[in-house]
Amino acid sequence: MKKLTFTIILSLIFTAAALEAGQLLWHLPFDVDTAEAVSGELAREVKTNDNAVSPYNKQAPGIGPVGVNGKGRCLDMSVSMAQMGSGDGSNYGGWVTYGANDVGGGNVDDVFNGLQSFTLMGWINTGDPNITPAENARILLRDDNANGLTVLLNEGGRLKVAVNGNWHAMPYAASYPFDCTDKWVFVAITYDGTASAGNLKFYRGFKDTASVTLEDTGDIPAGALASNDRQLVIGNNGGMNDTADKGFKGLIDELRLYGSYSDATGVLSSSEITNYKNQDVEKPWQDTPIADPLWHLPFDADMSDIISGETPSLVLTNPSAPAPYNEQPPVVTAEAGVRYKGGALDLRNTMAFMGAVSGENCYGGAVRYGTKDSGSGAVDDVLSDLKSFTLMGWLNTGDPLVSLSGMSSPARLCLREDYANTFAVTMNNGGRLGIAVNGQWKILPYSNTYPYTCTDEWVYFAITYDSTAADNNLKFYSARRNDGYPVMEYAANFNQGPISYSERQFVVGNNGSESTSADKGFKGLMDELRLFGSYDDGSGALPPTAIAQFKQDDWNVKCGDYGFMPPEGDINGDCIVDAADFAEMAAVWLMDNRPQ
């Protein structure tokens, strides 16, 4: 009886081991951030490339626009390089790494060591009809060209893979199945190190195909993946090669690695691969709920905060300004905003010049919220004691002749107790944003180009600050109106603690609360200012996905937005009177008149 029990236990142990052999080793969904879904490991580096041409040398890969299922997000490599594949300096670009150049601890990189078989799968898309797969564009690698794994695309979408330095490429043809020019293509690669023939296979799928198809089979030397201490690099040949000149300019989504260290069970069947492909397309998704802003100044019809209804306590002209500016206060100008038909705060006619201390010509008006007390002002007093916050909005000089160059003094966008114990945001010479927290300043460094140059065009900005974080707790984001996803322009250590308590007003457009001269105004338009914040933790510093969401919401007009109210007869609120509305009316009538 004991012998039988022991045999059964051993059988169960070996059966369990076999079932777990082809397990999911990691999954990078890229829905919210770079975190790996199994262990929670974040990317170690998200790198810009100093060798790239401007402005790509300042733009790191990020969590980009809508992913393959139309709801989640994806990894956006396109913002970090001008071209795709190997070539001159225009092909240099950023990259993303997991783990470190060592052995141990890294779930995403070290799991490759010793794999006897594996299946790697994911989705790729150039995201641009003018960008096509080009020579040696790296999708993923570990110890490039050597003792690990490299996956790349050649011209037209010809897939090429190296295992332990042994290469296999699809044969040349008139067209290639992995051409992902402006469309999502599913790629799955299986390797069986226990076999010596037909041991490498390439599968392809699309969002609207029922199953994957086997596109190519190759023979490479058998054996387990060699062990090494290299990082896993996605999107380029960075990591060990800082030139990083073989990038994939596009979008990557839902990367998964399955594997076995003992047998061939790491090779998934075509039906299993198909199931995962279809799961990616059908995966439910809901954006991470974000708390309402502390205040929101849309400037569509007036200057009120739509969260609390609070209106400005003062809208100031400046008697020291030259005529006619001394008689012209800030106003809301209809249909001047970033969203069609919405208004914008218009400061153009309140001052002659911007951001220079040259006497009365730079004096201008301002908008004040709250009073100089410790009352319950919804716009001013909410700033006191914030541990983390996000300020976002849109800027535009509204005039091609108004430049941000040559400014000898920063123009104030908004502030509370200027240069002192609280908070200020400025536009500096050339288009460099700056911020003060508790009297300490951080301003974007000088460069050849500046992301916030808003001469006669709308530019979106977002600034996040988290006093509970130790590193890179201050971040600046920017985007143009037609950009899909805001770019993180700058990150810095800025450990100033929570915003200090103050009884000052909140001022928009100038330094008017502390200085009646108000000589540091912003001559232009502002729109859709929002403040998010937390008094308890770092949640007030919004993630990039939320920042992108609000940017898109600001200018993607929806039914019910200002100027787009539903017409009479629109029952279902889609701003169209059609058969669906009549059907709903009929259903209501039938319900009301049903026999009793």
| 119 is a domain residue | yes
What mean pLDDT do residues 500-515 have? 81
What values do phi and psi take at 220, rounded to 5? Answer: -130, 160
Q: How far is CA 95 from CA 81, 287, 472, in A?
A: 10, 25, 18
271 in the same domain as 164: yes
Specify the DSSP class assigned to residue 41. P
For residue 407, name the pLDDT band (cuts at 50, 70, 90).
confident
Q: Is 494 domain-assigned? A: yes
What pLDDT score was predicted for residue 15?
34
Nearest Cα neighbor of 582 from 571, 594, 568 is: 571
In a shared domain, residues 132 and 37: yes
Domain final residue, candidates 259, 282, 305: 282
pLDDT tens for residues 81-93?
888 987 666 778 8
b/e map of 361-373 (b: 16 or more CB within 10 Å)? ebbbbbbbbbeee
**Same structural domain, 381 and 446:** yes
Instruction: Dihedral sign for Cα 85, 88, 91, 94, please.
Output: positive
The domain total for the chain is: 3
DSSP 417-443: STTTTSEEEEEETTTEEEEEETTEEEE
Do 539 and 596 sit in the same domain of this protein? Answer: no
Asked if residue 324 has a cis previous peptide bond (ω within 30° of 0), the answer is yes
Of 156-160, 171-175, 586-590, which gets the smallest average pLDDT? 586-590
CA-CA distance, 558 to 565, in Å (whole number)? 9
Token pair in block for residue 406? 């040559």
β-pairing, 423-428 with 411-416? antiparallel
Task: Mark which of 248, 282, 316 sits at the end of a domain.
Answer: 282
Judgement on whether residues 418 and 437 belong to the same structural domain of the protein: yes
Strands (DSSP E) contained in 73-116 are 75-76, 95-98
Q: Do 37 and 119 reside in the same domain of the chain?
A: yes
Higher pLDDT, 20 or 28: 28
Q: Pick from 134, 236, 151: which is nearest to 189 by CA? A: 151
Check residue 573 and give left, alpha or beta (phi > 0: left; psi -120 to 50: alpha): left
Residues 257 and 316 placed together within one structural domain of the fold: no
Same structural domain, 146 and 249: yes
Is 290 part of any domain?
no
Its domain, for residue 579, covers 566-596
Asked if residue 313 and residue 278 are part of one domain, the reply reads: no
CATH of the domain at 70: 2.60.120.200
Q: Do residue 128 and residue 181 come from a single domain? A: yes
User: 320 in a domain, yes or no?
Assistant: yes
**325 & 203 share domain:** no
| Domain-embedded: residue 535 | yes
Amino acid letter, residue 362? C
Angle ∠(482,484,487) on CA atoms, nearest 5: 105
Does any domain span residue 288? Answer: no
C-alpha 150/C-alpha 14 separation (Å) is: 33
Q: How many helices (H) and strands (E) does the chain have?
A: 5, 30
Which phi and psi angles does 137 have, rounded to 5°? Answer: -75, 110
Q: Is 257 within 8 Å of 25 (Cβ atoms)?
A: yes
Q: Which of 203-217, 328-342, 512-526 has the lowest mean pLDDT?
A: 512-526
Domain membership flag for residue 561: no
Strand order in the sheet with 158-163: 45-47, 95-98, 232-234, 137-142, 149-154, 158-163, 166-169
pLDDT beyond 60 at 186 = yes
The per-residue pLDDT for range 248-282, each reduced to its tens digit, is 999 999 999 999 999 999 999 999 999 999 999 98
Tell whether 560 is covered by a domain.
no
Q: Check whether residue 170 and residue 69 sit in a common domain.
A: yes
Q: Kindly tell me if the per-residue pLDDT of 457 is higher than 80.
A: yes
Instruction: Determine the pLDDT at residue 556.
Output: 61
The one-character DSSP state at 408 is S
Q: Residue 538 has what DSSP assignment?
A: G
